[in-house]
Chain A
Amino acid sequence: MIDVTRLDGTQITINAELIETVEEVPDTVIKLTTGKKIIVKESRQKVKSLVKLYKWQIFQDYINPEDE
């Protein structure tokens, strides 16, 4: 799940697994597999890095479990 910012400034967390496409028109439109479209301030590349970061963080928690 990644944190993105809507056009009016509010933060929203969306399910990264549901992202189908990210388009810049020129505002970034994230289209989900549900058909819903969300317009966000972050750029296309930034959205991509956010997803990678999120998955890396999960992996980090896996190889370095905190309860050790």
Chain B
Amino acid sequence: MDLATLIGLGAALGLMVFGIAQGEEGILSIKAFWDPASVLITFGGAFMAMLATSPDIPGFLGSLKTFKLTLKKVDVDEESTIKNIINLSNVARKEGLLALEEAANSIEDEFLKKGLLLIVDGTDPELVRSIMETELMCIESRHKDGIGFWEALGAAGPAWGMIGTLIGLINMLGNLSDINSVGPNMAVALVTTFYGSLLANWICTPVASKLKANNAAEIAMKEVTVEGLLSIQAGENPRVIEEKLKSFLSPDKRASMLDSQGGEE
């Protein structure tokens, strides 16, 4: 459970409602912000326009499901990946590359496992690099599709809110003779822009940014994995591989790896 997402989204809504409730009428002022017609125009319009951009209905539903990814904590455990690779390089150094086949069966990381099996099959190093990098590109491109969806929705929200505002204004200006209705009608017109902006800034932008950050972390870790695998295949010294991989980490993470290693030995 990614607490940052939960608390962030929840508190944003809560603080906003709390701020609205600070007015004279207290919590009842929320009523001014609720208008079913506006909900239909803004949310309905935005989501259905996104449906039009999706290749098909399952694709659209799939893109919506990527929201769940923001709630899941992305377990990019750099330390254990690097430790795995160092252990594997020690095995390869002592018993040869073919001994890695047995070690590969106990690896949970699918990406690492795939690379290991390629090596054990005696695949040419350049081919191994090319296959792993192609897989990386595909992973990244799938992520980008999801991110693009939420960014587009974030743009569609305020745009449809504006359409709602125009509808409201057109209605309002058509009834200018009734001065008393001008104020409330103007308020209703602005509620749609409010919904649009809310959709974009409360949901779409944070979700898109979180997906981007998760993507970056996962891709970085997989690149480290590819470098490690190729170094193992080239028969490099495990100490050298360890230093090479640690240079991918930030200095404080490097230090914490040193600490945990010191604790074990």
Chain A interfacial positions (CB closer than 8 Å to B): 6-10, 23, 25-27, 29, 36-37, 39
Contacts and interface: CB of A to CB of B under 8 A. Distances in A.
Given A37-B234, A39-B233, A27 B125 contact: no
Contacts of A25: 92-93, 235-236
Given A25-B93, A25-B235, A27-B96, 16 more contacts: A6-B122, A7-B98, A8-B121, A8-B122, A8-B123, A10-B122, A23-B235, A25-B92, A25-B236, A26-B93, A26-B94, A27-B97, A36-B125, A36-B126, A39-B122, A39-B235
By Cβ-Cβ distance, the 9 closest A-B pairs, closest first, are A8-B122, A25-B235, A7-B122, A29-B235, A27-B96, A6-B122, A26-B96, A37-B234, A27-B97
B234 A29 contact: yes
B95 interface: yes
Nearest to A7: B122
Contacts of B233: 39
B117 to A, nearest CB: 12
B60 to A, nearest CB: 45
B121 A39 contact: no
A29 B92 CA distance: 13
Nearest to A29: B235
- Interface size for chain B: under 10, 10 to 19, 20 to 34, or 35 or more residues? 10 to 19
Contacts of B235: 23, 25, 27, 29, 37, 39
Contacts of A27: 96-97, 235
A68 to B, nearest CB: 43
B236 to A, nearest CB: 8
B199 to A, nearest CB: 53
A6 B94 CA distance: 19
Contacts, number: 32
A25 B96 CA distance: 7
Contacts of B126: 36
A62 to B, nearest CB: 35
24 contacts: A6-B122, A7-B97, A7-B98, A7-B122, A8-B121, A8-B122, A8-B123, A9-B122, A10-B122, A23-B235, A25-B92, A25-B235, A25-B236, A26-B93, A26-B94, A26-B95, A26-B96, A27-B235, A29-B234, A36-B126, A37-B125, A37-B235, A39-B122, A39-B233
A66 B122 CA distance: 39
Nearest to A5: B122
Interface in B196-242: 233-236
A29 B97 CA distance: 11
Nearest to A8: B122
A36 B94 CA distance: 23
Contacts of A6: 122
Contacts of B93: 25-26
Contacts of B97: 7, 27, 39
Nearest to A10: B122
Among B98, B122, B236, chain A packs the most CB atoms within 10 A around the CB of B122
Contacts of B123: 8
Interface string B70-97: 0000000000000000000000111111
